[in-house]
Amino acid sequence: MDSKKWNLIVLGGTGGLLLLLAVVTIVIDPFLHFHKPLEGLEYPMKDERYLNDGIARWFDYDAIITGTSMTQNFKVSEWNEKMGVNAIKTSYSGASFHEITESLRRAFSYNPDVKIVLCSLDSSRIMYPADKDEYEGYPEYLYNANPFDDVEYVLNKEVMPKTLAVINYTRAGEKTPSMDVYGSWSQYHTFGRDAVAKTMAQLPEISEEVVLSEEELAMARENVEKNWLELVKQNPSTEFYLFFPPYSIAYWDALHHTKQMDVHIQLELLATEIMLQAENVHLYAFWDWMDVIGNLDNYMDSMHYSEEINSKIIDAIASTESELTKENYKAYYEGIRELYSNYDYDAVWE
Amino acid sequence: MLFNSYIFILFFLPVALAGYYGLNDRGKYSLAKVLLIGMSLWFYAYFEPAYLLIILTSIFVNYLFSKMINQGSAVLGTKVRKLVLILGIVFNVGIIFYYKYFNFFLENLNVLFHREWELRNILMPLGISFFTFQQISYLVDSWRGETKDYSFVDYILFVSFFPQLIAGPIVFHDEMIPQFNDRERKKFSHDKLAAGLWIFSIGLFKKVLIADTLGRGADYGFSNIAALSGAEAVLVMLCYTLQLYFDFSGYCDMAIGIGRMFQIEIPLNFNSPYKAISVTDFWNRWHMTLSRFLRKYIYFPLGGSRRGQLCTIRNILIVFLVSGIWHGAAWTFVLWGVLHGLIRAIERVLGGLLEKVPKVIRWLVTFLFVNLAWILFRAQTIEDAILFYTKLFTGWKETSQGGLFAQFHIIEFTYIVEHVQVLSSFVGRYPWIYMAIVLGGSLLIALFMKNCHEKEFKLSFKTAIATIVMLAWSVVSFSGISTFLYFNF
């Protein structure tokens, strides 16, 4: 073989192979980066951090449910019915405020007509740096406006099985999951006291009450203000329904044991005071739901509740039960401090 | 920019090649060189634009110094020329000292004098060790009257030519600049392109598929030393030994391949080093252009082996000390260099005696020593290295946690196994199987296969298909999908 022919085969072959792969990825688009789900194809809809931007970009909606895993089990249809909207769900496991609010900003840029947002305001994410993202290896190429780095998506050996999965899923007669089911995990886990106990780490013995430093408080303040307050103020025509997720009594037991209860309440108060500055924020806390929080049958670990609790949260928010206002929040947290300071934690595990 | 990136392969390289040959074809030889310089500077600035200032200053000042040394003989006299040479060397060593060693130096002063001088936040420009050494050699050669009156364009191209800019090989002016000016090499050649593509794709495959996969095991092991069992420590050690070879030699193969596409022959840097049967032999096969640099500019000027056994040993130790420090600013590197120097010196003293030991034993001892020494090279601190050695020798009763094996669950394996039922249960029973395939395979390649420079390249359908597979497989491996671990919420 002469070298010219060899070069033609190699360059043509490599180029052709890569082009074919890119075209197949673009056409099927398993992460919905280029278009909405194709008619006639069914998408398994796994990998939320790869799909959420596409959902926000291409789906028809006027409301968004987002947040951490505390929101993944929400049944979107229930929310739609109560609030008279058509919502998408774009939750991010373990996300920081920065990650969630950035994703909302992008969603607003795709769809300026978003009427309402329902989102968790996770207490454990308040004391974070304002620009902190939880993960490395984030698929930024799916989230930015740079068309050139899309090559990381279209020529990616780990995307190839995802493309094939769409075809196999369709051939197997499966259906693209509804927004109710998308991201939910409730059915895959065991709930109850034993399950929770298994996940509890050995707690350190701490003798003195933990106190936040000025720097830590300033960081938390910046985190809430820069991410959340700024976002809601920039979008005055959108109503934001934010809630502190009701972690279990096991979580409070750990706070109590490690002398961090005051810190927890202090941080929530801080976030509450900041967020109540905005007219378009509706803030909720459920720490007085002792039938939920005190019953570990509702939990798979110290924080994660079952889908029934998600439904209960929707009911409460829709009926404005448990809403924090400028008038009631101080008394509310006094009551909460009282309640959890005097709780009989030993009885939880007996 | 890295060779193993989309932008380099899909855009930069094709544009550079087309532009270079396009201009040469129209007789615009100087412009073709300027294009290569421009592309090389872009290649460099792609990492961090601020680096550009450093490399350009370094190139400009060195060129000026070399001119003074070169042309000044008639005007300046020997003393002044020598002063300029010394100033030039001080300038280069000063730059490298500041960017690479300043914090290390300060840390040691702090320990020595019980001070707390604050370390500086210095970002080391990439490839600084390479382009500085290359330019020191140029200054010395100018002093020796071995350089010609090269133009600034030739000089800047010699230093910045992108295939060898970031990670070597360390090239000399007399092997590069004449090639840049050889008209015969400026006409596009299908033969050279084919040969270049072949070597480049082998290098790319070595780096992306082999080294990076082994690197997952090495990274895991060296960040979890305390959790390793003795057997795992051995496996991690081998992973790193092989990773380093496939990574660095893969990168050099790519450099040689790209050079060949431009018809610029870049010297060989690796010649199956793990087949070496002595440490001396190892250094004739590993990072060969560094060895020849150290030989020419340090070992020989110190007197080499001409002044008796004791002086020779001293010179060997100095060379390896410098080599150790050159590799990195930490005591681990210093110790690594000194250890290699000591063994090299012992081999020198034993001389012919070693010849009587069977080759296989000599290979085994050499390979073992090189492996053990790489632990120092990879460990973050001496303490980490000691812990690793302790694990190697005492961790044999501990059981494996399985974390190491999990590093080798790469998509190529997992996808097949997921879809072939028989394999799933097999892998379930033998979780180490993926690692065994990667580690065993790469060990066989490194120890028993002819390297791509020994093996003659044939223009055949087989090599064409192999090249396509290596190129395409590597390109689609540049990116992946991260598994976002569930952080308890």
Within 8 A of B478 by CB-CB distance, chain A residues are: 152, 155-156
State in Å, rounded, how far the first CA of chain A is from the last one.
81
Confidence of residue B251 (pLDDT cuts 50, 70, 90): very high
Q: Is A228 strand, coil or helix?
A: helix
Within 8 A of A150 by CB-CB distance, chain B residues are: none
Domain containing residue B26: 6-187
Domain containing residue A336: 3-349
Residue window 124-143, chain A: list those with CB within 8 Å of chain B: 124, 134-139, 141
What is chain B's mean pLDDT, rounded? 89
Q: Which of B65-74, B298-307, B459-468 has the lowest mean pLDDT?
A: B65-74
- Give residue-wise pLDDT tens across range A112-162: 999 999 999 999 999 999 998 877 778 888 988 889 999 999 999 999 999
The confidence score (pLDDT) of residue B356 equals: 87
- Residue A251 pLDDT > 90: yes
Give me the residue label for tokens 């390649």.
B445
Contact A14 B190 (CB under 8 A): no
Tell me if chain A has a CB within 8 Å of the CB of B460: yes
Residue B179 lies in a domain: yes
| Contact (CB, 8 A) for A91 and A69 | yes
Confidence of residue B451 (pLDDT cuts 50, 70, 90): confident
Confidence of residue B72 (pLDDT cuts 50, 70, 90): low
- Give residue-wise pLDDT tens across range A295-343: 999 999 999 999 999 999 999 999 988 999 999 999 999 999 999 999 9
The confidence score (pLDDT) of residue B428 equals: 79
- Report the chain B residue with the minimal C-alpha distance to residue A153: B479
- Residue B339 pLDDT > 80: yes
- Report the chain B residue with the minimal C-alpha distance to residue A93: B489
DSSP B137-166: HHHHHHHTT-S----HHHHHHHHH-GGGTT
- What is the domain count for chain A? 1
- What is the domain count for chain B? 1
Check residue A317 and give left, alpha or beta (phi > 0: left; psi -120 to 50: alpha): alpha
The confidence score (pLDDT) of residue B488 equals: 40
Residue B373 lies in a domain: no
Residue B14 lies in a domain: yes
Q: How far apart are CA B368 and CA B363, in angstroms?
A: 8
State the amino acid at position A233 in one-letter form: K
Within 8 A of B482 by CB-CB distance, chain A residues are: 135-139
The confidence score (pLDDT) of residue A286 equals: 96
Q: Which of A82-86, A264-268, B281-285, B454-458 has the lowest mean pLDDT?
A: B454-458
The confidence score (pLDDT) of residue B209 equals: 94
As a whole-number percent, the residues of chain B with pLDDT over 90 amount to 61
Among partner residues A7, A137, A151, which is closest to B190 by beta-carbon distance?
A: A7
Among partner residues B191, B481, B486, which is closest to A159 by beta-carbon distance?
A: B481
Q: How far apart are CA B211 and CA A102, in angstroms?
A: 36
Confidence of residue B487 (pLDDT cuts 50, 70, 90): very low
The catalytic residues of B are 327
> Which are the contacts of B218, defined by CB distance < 8 A and separation ≥ 6?
B236, B239, B240, B243, B378
| HSE-CB of B10 using CA atoms within 13 angstroms | 17
Contact A155 B480 (CB under 8 A): no
- Residue B484 pLDDT > 60: no
Residue window 290-309, chain A: list those with CB within 8 Å of chain B: 301, 303-304
Q: How far apart are CA A343 and CA B161, in angstroms?
A: 72
Among partner residues A9, A18, A156, which is closest to B480 by beta-carbon distance?
A: A156
Contact A156 B481 (CB under 8 A): yes
Q: Is B361 strand, coil or helix?
A: helix
Helix or strand run (H / E) with residue B344: helix B331-350
Rounded mean pLDDT, B52-67? 92
Residues shown for chain B: 489
Radius of gyration of chain A (CA): 23
Cα dihedral B145, B148, B150, B154, rounded to 10, equals -100
The confidence score (pLDDT) of residue B71 equals: 72
| Contact (CB, 8 A) for A100 and A62 | no
Rounded mean pLDDT, B141-166? 90
CATH number, domain of A235, equals: 3.40.50.1110
Alpha carbon of B103: minimum distance to chain A alpha carbons (Å): 28
State the amino acid at position B42 in one-letter form: W
Structure tokens belonging to residue A342: 């005097």
Confidence of residue B116 (pLDDT cuts 50, 70, 90): confident
Rounded mean pLDDT, B296-321? 90
Tell which residue, A323, A317, A320, has the closest CA to residue A78. A317
- Give residue-wise pLDDT tens across range A11-40: 999 999 999 999 999 999 999 999 999 999
- Which stretches of B375-476 are assigned E, i.e. beta strand? none
Tell which residue, B107, B29, B37, has the closest CA to residue B331. B107
Among partner residues B190, B471, B486, which is closest to A93 by beta-carbon distance?
A: B486
The confidence score (pLDDT) of residue B483 equals: 60
Residue B484 lies in a domain: no
Is the torsion defined by CA of B417, B423, B427, B429 positive or negative?
Answer: positive
- Report the chain A residue with the minimal C-alpha distance to residue B462: A6
Tell me if chain A has a CB within 8 Å of the CB of B461: yes
Residue window 223-262, chain A: list those with CB within 8 Å of chain B: none
Q: How far apart are CA B228 and CA B248, in angstroms?
A: 26
Residue B478 lies in a domain: no
Q: Helix count (H) and strand count (E) of chain B?
A: 23, 0
Contact A10 B481 (CB under 8 A): no
Q: Helix count (H) and strand count (E) of chain A?
A: 16, 6
